[in-house]
Amino acid sequence: MPHASGVAFRVWAPHADSVYVTGVFNKWSPNANPMTKQDGGYWYADISGAAVGDEYRYRIVNGAKELLRMDPYARQVTSSVGNAVVHDPQFDWQGDDFHMPPVNELVIYELHLGTFHSDKDLRTDKFAEAIQKLDHLKRLGVNVIEVMPLAEFAGQLSWGYNPACIFAVETDYGGPVGFKRFVKAVHQAGIAVILDVVYNHFGPGDLDLWQFDGWSENGLGGIYFYNDWRAETPWGSTRPDYGRGEVCQLICDNAMMWLEEYHVDGLRLDMTLFMHHVRGNDDPAADLPDGWNLVQRINREISQRFPGRITIAEDLRDDARITKPADQGGAGFTAQWVASFAHPIRATMITPNDDQRSLESIRRAIDGGYNGNPFQRVLYCESHDEVANGKARVASEIDPHNPESWFAQKRTLLAAAIVLTSPGIPMLFQGQEFLEDGWFQDSVPLDWHKSEEFSGLVRMYRDLIQLRLNRSLCTRGLTGAGLNTFHQNQADNMLAYHRWHQGGPGDDTVVVVNLSHLPHENYMLGFPATGAWRLRLNSDWIGYSRGFGNYASRDVTAVAEQLDEKRAVKAVQRDGFPAEGKISIGPYSVLIFSQDPKS
């Protein structure tokens, strides 16, 4: 840590016989600056000749072994195989007083800094390039960016899930200062930042932590890792030893650093299942209580020190304990990714045959929550996992030969509309809004030309997000927990659901989904109340795509009484509601209705 008269260095190396700091300040002398051993296996030195910007390493002596190691807490490195750099954490955060919206009013946009641009050059400062795209995100209307991992990784290209130096921001993206400038700029655009972090394994490549001070057992990783069967993960035998206090402290310190020093608004922990279970299955013998205790500790500390910030888990087991409060025995996460939503939505859209679309699977997907709270779910149909590893973008899965076809556009928008109108926290993946196709690769930048080519589709996403966030003050129900899937007609592939927050005009919202290639004219549907129901969105509007049909969209007047065959007045009962109206809907389309708020 730099200070007025030099730099203080501290490192944990309990099995070392001696430790030295070597760097540019002592011309890389192997023994000019010995460190003093402290309690608990820590070593300390205060070097007056060192300064911010100096490169350095620790020289660790263990018997006949002499090891040159990077500082595990280094905020900056020259590369994953280079040197640590003395970094000044101070930054001008003046004016950065951003506060995250409540969880029921979030729309997340997941992005990868290495490809969120249109430049195939591998130049540094991807943060600056991403800042130039903030106008697009601001117009789109999302209010949270979820950034895939930024910790220094091996090589120039990566998804980021192979962290080599967990405290250092990837040099090829722009380093720590670049990330701070990015966060400040995103906040100034009115958007929050959630950062993806990886604690279920480290590396496995370019991993200076491996056998850090020369000690290990069974040929495994040494002091920072399990040295037995618990070390094994799907990504290598590099699971951190959550049972060691020093390792837990390292990980907790890392989580807090992102919130304190970088002002991020939340963390998304990658594949937490492999933090609290060795094999990621139902074998109780492979549980890792130490990992469970660690995630509880992280969430407790964030809740206490940074109220209003959130944490999201990728656990993918529909385990309500993940988002149950830690003081009630849960892990304490704010929300978790829901594969059981994504998979049926994708499957329903991808199948080419209408008679194979399961409305029941969609109903079950949208009607869910954990611990009685639907906003403990992050909902999506595309994510970095869902569009890679043998799977592609929804449009490419629908029509591999022509992912820009009418069918691909139509059903891709259907999936997105369900994501953005279901109770939960909706999430989009970069480029989804302009029909990016193929599969996600860390070497292929987004095709930003498509944002102009498919500007109508971008407008559809924008309109959906506006409604989801109630920015026109007429669809508050989409921010609420209320859900009633009141109409399910498998024969005609028609589904409708009612959303509400507190109910009433301007709140109650009705979403109608046609999962058939056929339109429906004068289709009778129940409504929660009588009177005029304004059509807020028709996904078949020709303004969204020249190939759409602009099919017979109009407002609806819902009535409580009808004449029977004998011209006698009778009360309406349809779909469990005391009112009904006629709608017309295009093929593979979504309609959203609500009533004007009372003045």
Maximum Cα interatomic distance, the chain, rounded to a whole number of Å: 105
Is 115 within 8 Å of 445 (Cβ atoms)?
yes
Q: Could you tell me which of 225, 213, 210 has the C-alpha nearest to residue 66?
A: 213
Residue 189, pLDDT score? 97
Residue 552, pLDDT score? 77
Q: Check whether 455 has a pLDDT greater than 70.
A: yes
C-alpha 516 chain-centroid distance: 31
Burial class for 64, CB neighbours closer than 10 Å (0-12, 13-18, 19+): exposed
pLDDT in tens, 243-288: 999 999 999 999 999 999 999 999 999 999 999 999 888 888 899 9
Helices (H), 306-425: 339-350, 359-366, 394-398, 406-421
Measured CA to CA in angstroms, residue 459 lies from 117, 141, 465, 595 at distances of 20, 10, 10, 23
Cβ count near 372 (within 10 Å): 8
Residue 564, pLDDT score? 65
553 pLDDT band, cuts 50/70/90, is confident
Measured CA to CA in angstroms, residue 358 lies from 146, 362, 411 at distances of 31, 7, 14
Task: List the structure tokens of 560.
Answer: 């409580």
Place of tokens 């390792």: 247
Residue 44, pLDDT score? 98
Q: Stretch 429-437: mean pLDDT, rounded?
A: 98
Q: Stretch 396-406: mean pLDDT, rounded?
A: 97
All domains of the chain in start order, with CATH: 2-69 (2.60.40.10), 111-337 (3.20.20.80), 476-594 (2.60.40.1180)
| Residue 570 CB-half CA count within 13 A | 9
Length of the chain: 599
Measured CA to CA, the distance from residue 572 to residue 558 in angstroms comes to 10
Place of tokens 């206490």: 304
Q: Check whether 570 has a pLDDT greater than 90.
A: no
Is 597 within 8 Å of 506 (Cβ atoms)?
yes
pLDDT in tens, 481-524: 999 999 999 999 999 999 999 999 999 999 999 999 999 999 99
Q: Stretch 141-149: mean pLDDT, rounded?
A: 98
Q: Check whether 568 has a pLDDT greater than 70.
A: no
Place of tokens 């900056």: 76
Instruction: Compute φ and ψ for 36, nearest 5 degrees.
Output: -95, 135
Is 123 within 8 Å of 114 (Cβ atoms)?
no
Contacts of 542 (CB under 8 A, 6+ apart): 548, 549, 550
Residue 569, pLDDT score? 64
Q: Which range among 7-21, 38-52, 80-94, 564-578 shows the weakest confidence by mean pLDDT? A: 564-578
Measured CA to CA, the distance from residue 296 to residue 289 in angstroms comes to 11
Q: Check whether 121 has a pLDDT greater than 90.
A: no
DSSP classification of residue 210: T
Residue 599, pLDDT score? 72
Amino acid at 112: H
pLDDT in tens, 179-230: 999 999 999 999 999 999 999 999 999 999 999 999 999 999 999 999 999 9
Cβ count near 574 (within 10 Å): 17
4 pLDDT band, cuts 50/70/90, is confident
User: Three-class SS of residue 525?
Assistant: strand
Average pLDDT of the chain, as a whole number: 96
Q: Stretch 566-583: mean pLDDT, rounded?
A: 85
Q: Provide the strand spans (E) within 120-248.
A: 144-147, 151-153, 163-169, 192-197
DSSP classification of residue 595: P
Measured CA to CA in angstroms, residue 178 lies from 118, 145, 552 at distances of 19, 16, 50
Q: Check whether 119 has a pLDDT greater than 90.
A: no
C-alpha angle 205-128-77 in degrees, rounded to nearest 5: 35
Residue 12, pLDDT score? 98
The per-residue b/e assignment along 495-519, b for 16 or more CB within 10 angstroms, e otherwise, is: bbbbbbbeeebbbbbbbbbbbbeeb
Measured CA to CA, the distance from residue 81 to residue 153 in angstroms comes to 9
Is 508 within 8 Å of 595 (Cβ atoms)?
yes
Q: Check whether 122 has a pLDDT greater than 60.
A: no
Pairing of strands 36-37, 42-47: antiparallel
Place of tokens 């807490």: 73
pTM for this model (two decimals) = 0.97
Q: Which residues on neighbouring strands pair with residue 193, listed in sequence order?
A: 145
Measured CA to CA, the distance from residue 238 to residue 153 in angstroms comes to 15
561 pLDDT band, cuts 50/70/90, is confident
Q: Stretch 553-579: mean pLDDT, rounded?
A: 83
Is 343 within 8 Å of 349 (Cβ atoms)?
no
